[in-house]
């Protein structure tokens, strides 16, 4: 068993202002996306400008934050939202959904396409290779917060998380960091390094992310307020990932990739 490092979630405190590692990870994610996007317009996508990249990252940042929060309240805390509508603003209590973030980004892409006249999938194909490192940073933030822990296990790398009881558990947020973050980044970045048919980069991202998420959910403890939602094993994360897999597979099959 490994010892959980128990890092202080507050990275810096200046008077009444507290800067949390989780918030810093969001900045790291958006910053890495901006940096990678600038690299892509120099090497591959010469039809993009620096201003367009900055605007796209700004639109998507709003989509992640708004969609992530709305998605969490809708998918994971709907009864609380209905009875206490203002709870949606209590972001300091935590609660962000990656699937909600994807929906928010989808709306951001639609707005950006309307503003610039660029095809929707040309934008999403450009955007997808930028996303995994942001997911990676977010999972590091989850690990520092000691949240979204895994199921009880006796594997050698199990950890006892401060808020999860005395039993050792899978460090499932690290699994997500490795698969949804680092490995997914390598796959999508390498695949998109050459010209590909429209929609194919988007399709591959959705397909692989969905598969990874469904797999990792078998090691992650279901949200306590939901538990298993069907068959004694299906989680909300898996249910929300199935449409991503189907859509990704459809986009890939359509182009015979």
Closest CA to 1 of 206, 161, 220, 223: 161
Kindly indicate the confidence band of residue 79, based on its pLDDT and cuts at 50, 70 and 90.
Answer: confident
**Model pLDDT, residue 255:** 60
Reading the block at residue 251, the tokens are 């986009």
pLDDT for the residue numbered 144:
93
Give me the mean pLDDT over the 108-114 stretch. 95
CB 119 within 8 A of CB 187: no
Structure tokens at 157: 């790398």
pLDDT at 103: 92
pLDDT at 98: 86
What pLDDT was estimated at residue 17? 86
Other C-beta atoms within 10 Å of 115: how many?
A: 12
Q: What is the pLDDT of residues 124-138, one digit of tens each?
A: 999 999 999 999 999
184's tokens: 């997914």
Phi/psi for 220 (5° steps) reads: -95, 140
pLDDT tens per residue, range 168-227: 999 999 999 999 999 999 999 999 998 899 999 999 999 999 999 999 999 999 988 888
State the Cα–Cα distance between residues 31 and 77, nearest whole angstrom: 30
Would you state the pLDDT for residue 73? 86
Across the range 48-64, mean pLDDT stands at 94
User: Which pLDDT does position 94 carry in this prediction?
Assistant: 62
Q: pTM above 0.85?
A: yes
Question: What pLDDT score was predicted for residue 256?
Answer: 54
Strand, coil or helix: 230:
strand
pLDDT at 91: 65
Q: How confident is the model at residue 96 (pLDDT cuts 50, 70, 90)?
A: confident
């Amino acid at each position: 068993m490994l010892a959980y490092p128990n890092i202080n979630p507050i990275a810096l405190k200046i008077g009444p202002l507290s800067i949390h590692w989780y918030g810093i990870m969001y900045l790291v994610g958006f910053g890495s996306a901006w940096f990678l996007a600038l690299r892509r317009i120099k090497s591959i996508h010469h039809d993009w400008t620096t201003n367009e990249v900055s605007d796209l990252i700004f639109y998507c940042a709003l989509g992640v934050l708004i969609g992530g929060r709305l998605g969490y309240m809708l998918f994971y805390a709907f009864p609380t939202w209905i009875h206490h509508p203002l709870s949606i603003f209590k972001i300091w209590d935590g609660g962000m959904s990656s699937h909600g973030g994807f929906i928010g980004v989808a709306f951001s892409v639609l707005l950006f396409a309307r503003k610039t006249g660029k095809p929707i999938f040309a934008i999403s194909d450009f955007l997808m290779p930028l996303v995994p490192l942001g997911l990676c940073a977010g999972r590091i933030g989850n690990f520092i917060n000691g949240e979204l822990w895994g199921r009880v296990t006796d594997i050698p790398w199990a950890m006892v998380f401060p808020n999860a009881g005395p039993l050792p558990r899978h460090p499932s947020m690290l699994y997500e960091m490795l698969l949804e973050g680092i490995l997914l980044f390598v796959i999508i970045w390498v695949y998109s390094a050459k010209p590909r048919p429209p929609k194919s980069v988007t399709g591959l991202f959705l397909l692989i992310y969905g598969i990874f998420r469904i797999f990792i959910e078998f090691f992650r403890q279901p949200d306590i307020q939901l538990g298993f939602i069907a068959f004694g094993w299906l989680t909300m994360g898996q249910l929300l990932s199935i449409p991503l897999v189907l859509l990704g597979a459809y986009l890939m099959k359509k182009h015979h990739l």
